[in-house]
Structure 1
Amino acid sequence: MTTIAPLTSTDHAEWLGLWHGYLAFYEASIADEVTESTFARLVAGDELHGAIARDAAGRAVGLVHWLAHPATWTTTTYTYLEDLFVDPATRGGGVGRALIEHVRTWAESRGSHKVYWLTHEANTTARALYDRVATGTGFVHYEITLGR
């Protein structure tokens, strides 16, 4: 059985292992100070929100991060599911679906208009799940990285 709970400061070491797995999957690197700031903001839960999934033995097997933001096409908010990662050893067991459902329930309870997310087009395993639990929009993602 999978349980999902909001991130707390005591989850740091297990979250960090999952976070590093997530970054490695996307072949990304983030400065340590950004990682630590992200974790602190997730635990605070003021703007960013996070949850951790645990298996029946209590081992951390997945994470999800999200935020709500104002939108111009609704009088309420949209909820953006920013990060979702499941330990490769437990994929296919319903953890990803449970994490998405956790965010959907959170968003619905706060009156958000929709939950949405992005993934890489080559992420076929995750996309198979996403196609079962959500509707593809056909939109293409663009971005401009700003110097800092």
Structure 2
Amino acid sequence: MTDTTQTRIRPLRAEDKPYWRKLWTGYLTFYDSSVSDAVYERTFTRLLGDDDQDFHCLIATHREKPVGLAHFLFHRHCWRVENVCYLQDLYADPDMRGKGVGRQLIEAVYAAADAAGAPSVYWLTQDDNTTARTLYDRIGQATNFIKYLRPA
């Protein structure tokens, strides 16, 4: 196992852009997806924004090299007074999987949610993402909800 004392979680910085793009591209590729350059640019701008209603990004670094990311946002919820936190994207470089990066990122999102007064954190994954679900089952609680989308 990798020495996790060498792994740090910190907010995204402007100078992280090429590393962030590579990591997010890896995430999108994992899900057989892609986005336009305009989406990359707009998303990065939003992630660096200072609006609490905007997106947030945490970067995992190992020996100062970015090796993972977590995108999340806070939003209102009709069943709560407090905002809730949606962990939209979580990705660890394939070479770092199984070495604690995903857990550290999720725990950092939990801490950010607590600091923002948003006690509920939730996320989605594909049912066949067994590697990630091994971690998620240890640090989260699966629900029986099924996601629906508007037809294209």
Partner residue in 2 for 1:128: 134
Cα displacement string for residues 90-135 of structure 1 (whole angstroms, at most 9, x for unaligned residues)? 1001000000001000001111130000001111000110000000
Partner residue in 2 for 1:24: 29
Partner residue in 2 for 1:117: 123
User: In the alignment, does 2:45 pair up with 1:49?
Assistant: no
Q: Given that residues 78 and 113 in structure 1 are in contact (C-alpha distance below 8 angstroms), is that contact kept between their aligned partners in structure 2?
A: yes
CA RMSD in angstroms comes to: 1.0
Cα distance in 1 for partners of 2:9, 2:121 equals 18
Corresponding letter in the other structure for 1:10: E
Cα distance in 1 for partners of 2:151, 2:97 equals 32
Cα distance in 1 for partners of 2:15, 2:88 equals 22
Cα displacement string for residues 47-66 of structure 1 (whole angstroms, at most 9, x for unaligned residues)? 110011000x2111100000
Structure 1 position 145, deviation (Å): 5.2
Unmatched 5+ stretches in structure 2: 1-5
TM-score normalized by the length of structure 1: 0.95
Corresponding letter in the other structure for 2:59: I
Corresponding letter in the other structure for 1:12: K
User: In the alignment, does 2:96 pair up with 1:98?
Assistant: no
Partner residue in 1 for 2:81: 75
Cα distance in 2 for partners of 1:36, 1:119 equals 25
Decide whether aligned partners of structure 1 residues 118 and 45 sit closer, same or farther in structure 2, where only a CA change above 3 A counts: farther
SS in 2 for 1:126: helix
TM-score normalized by the length of structure 2: 0.92
Partner residue in 1 for 2:3: none
Cα distance in 2 for partners of 1:81, 1:124 equals 18
Cα distance in 1 for partners of 2:94, 2:113 equals 27
Corresponding letter in the other structure for 1:48: F
Unmatched 5+ stretches in structure 1: none
Which stretches of structure 1, 4 residues or more, deviate above 3 A after TM superposition? none
Cα distance in 2 for partners of 1:90, 1:145 equals 36
SS in 2 for 1:24: helix
